[in-house]
Amino acid sequence: MTRKIKYTRKELKSPDEFISTLGRTTLWMKENLSTVLVALAAVHLAFGGVFGTLSYFRWQETKAARDLWPQMNLAREALQAPAAPDNENLEQIEQSLSAQVNMYPDTRAARFATYYLGSIAYRRGDYDRSVAQFRSAISDGKGQGTIMDFLLREGLAQALEAKGDLDDAQKTYAEAVTFARGELRTQAWMGQARTLSIQGRNEEAAVVFRKILAENPDTPLKDLIGIKLSHPG
């Protein structure tokens, strides 16, 4: 037998809670139409501002890449030239590249360009300036997840080594290892082992040499590493 449900007079008179709330909200919106329109306009402007900002950043990155890459190509060609680069030419490239970097701070292209500024300073023997440039690009953080993460740390380690800051150099080589694979990883390990050996920390250097052989037993540096392990120091 079907059970009958009885409602009280109070329940029959009371509207459903959701319907009641919706009705009150609709009524409030009608009575405060101007306020609602202002709020909707504010939301629209907020979304427009976000998308506008993203578009601006993309435009900045594109413009920075367009203006900086020709200068970076000049720097790369000068640094990779078989003959010793002309210091006057390097200075001109450095000044031009610095001006462009200052025009487009906080862009990915500027971080790449700062790597070349650090490399130019290193080639000119200004190791303090080289260290400052590499550290600036690393702290900037743009371009993470690219080969530049390794190159900046290796460049910094080489500059620290050249200025005699061997402990920081070996630590930075070790950090560079974490951003590399294959021969680049071996290259950074060799730098770390070398700077440890110069400090007389031969046992620590031997540990690094063995890491290289364990990861890459057929490395072309196998014989050299064998000699280093047999004659530490």
The pLDDT score that the predictor gives to residue 32 is 59
The pLDDT score that the predictor gives to residue 80 is 81
3-state secondary structure 50-62: HHHHHHHHHHHHH
pLDDT tens for each residue of 97-124? 888 888 887 787 888 888 989 999 999 8
The pLDDT score that the predictor gives to residue 12 is 42
Does pTM surpass 0.85? no
Alpha-carbon span 148 to 180, nearest angstrom: 10
Query: Is the confidence at residue 7, as pLDDT, over 70?
Result: no
Among the listed residues 214, 216, 128, the one whose alpha carbon sits nearest the alpha carbon of residue 164: 128
Query: Is the confidence at residue 157, as pLDDT, over 90?
Result: yes
Angle between helices 148-162 and 182-198 (to 10 degrees): 20
When pLDDT is averaged across residues 171-183 and rounded to a whole number, the result is 94
* CATH numeric code, 55-144: 1.25.40
Query: Buried b / exposed e across 2-29, counting CB within 10 Å, b at 16+?
Result: eeeeeeeeeeeeeeeeeeeeeeeeeeee
Among the listed residues 161, 160, 225, the one whose alpha carbon sits nearest the alpha carbon of residue 198: 161
pLDDT tens for each residue of 32-76? 556 655 555 555 555 555 445 546 456 557 776 777 777 777 778
